[in-house]
Amino acid sequence: MYIICKQVVRIEEAAKGIYAEGDFQKLSENIISTCEKIDWEHIDMAMQLDTLQSSYDKTLPEIASFQNKMTNVMEKLGNCSTSELENMFTSIKVTCTNEIQLHTELHKKYKRLHKGLQSIQQDSEQLAFILCRKYDDLTKETDALYERKDNREINFSFQPEASMLQLLSELDSLGKIQTYRNNPNQVIKVSDMTKHDICDYLDRSSPAATIIGICEMAYGQFLIADSSNKNAKLLDHSLKVLSRQNFLYAPNQMCNVSAYSVAVIFEDYVIQFIRVNNLRITVERIIQLEGYCYSIGYHNFDIFCTNAEAIYHYDIDGRQMKSKISVKNGML
């Protein structure tokens, strides 16, 4: 397939003066900035995978726990049915055993009566009368025993709870698996606290630190800013000091800009972009502010800082202020 070009421009002509154009001057910074954004997204997605794995590992035992509870409930119900069967069986068995014993005793009594009848003299009417009365008594006792038919031809059967079986058969699973996102407004309650000493040999004669900001960097490192001692420290995941950077003025606040850099606002009306590279802290560039600011934030390649009277909006390069929003009586 071919496309006919209406106008052809030679690269030699199109490339004239490119070094003087602003877009080319920003190309290097734009590439670095884009790479940092990709790195940040990469780290963020890697953290998401860790969170996903952690949530998966947490949910599996919850399913197993509920399954165990269901198993325990079913086992309890089964034990109740088994106990009911055993109680009924024991009760009927005892009754049947007692009747068998009565049969045995009656049989012995009849044997003794029959033996006495065979040994009686023909002229002993009194003894004959007594034997007849005993026979009548035994007959009544025997008839009373024969009338007990409650325990005759008894069998056991189990009638399962059909509604329970129907309910379980209609279920697709033990419960629904749902996904959710963390609530950014969720209140986090601190239940425990540990203390870590982040001083090094240079802090022996320094005043107590005033930590005004902590930012998480790539590879699980942390960058902390200390306004009292006018410095920043890079810590590893175990909070061991890896390196430090001293400043001429005290930092007021800082925020993440990428996975490798932060923006720090200082008391001398400037913003310094600090980068972490090979365990070293370096200052990349500086933005001069119009006035004193004590708070700073970053969003979508834009910097926002405020002094409670106005909000200043800068681009990430700091070459120009995009906008200024005045604040009156604490209201926008």
Please list the pLDDT of the chain residue by residue as tens digits (332 residues): 667 766 776 777 666 766 666 666 677 777 877 787 787 778 778 878 888 888 888 888 888 888 898 889 888 888 988 898 899 888 888 888 888 888 888 788 778 877 777 777 666 777 777 777 877 787 877 777 777 766 667 888 888 887 777 777 777 887 777 776 766 666 677 778 888 777 776 667 777 888 999 998 877 889 999 998 899 999 988 888 888 899 999 999 999 888 788 999 998 888 889 988 888 888 888 888 877 888 888 887 788 888 877 888 887 766 656 677 776 654 44
Q: Cα separation of 265 and 190, whole Å?
A: 29
C-beta separation of 207 from 228 below 8 A: yes
Provide the pLDDT for residue 331: 46
Provide the pLDDT for residue 135: 78
pTM, two decimal places: 0.49
CB neighbour list of residue 271: distance below 8 Å, 6 or more residues apart: 263, 264, 265, 286, 287, 289, 296, 303, 305, 314, 318
Could you tell me the two tokens for 332? Answer: 């926008």
C-beta separation of 286 from 272 below 8 A: yes
Quick one: which of 315, 312, 281, 287 has its CA closest to 300?
315
Provide the pLDDT for residue 41: 79
Could you tell me the two tokens for 47? Answer: 């953290």
Cα distances (angstroms) measured from residue 84 to each of 73, 77, 154, 159? 17, 11, 16, 13
Q: Is 36 left (phi over 0), alpha (psi -120 to 50) or beta?
A: alpha
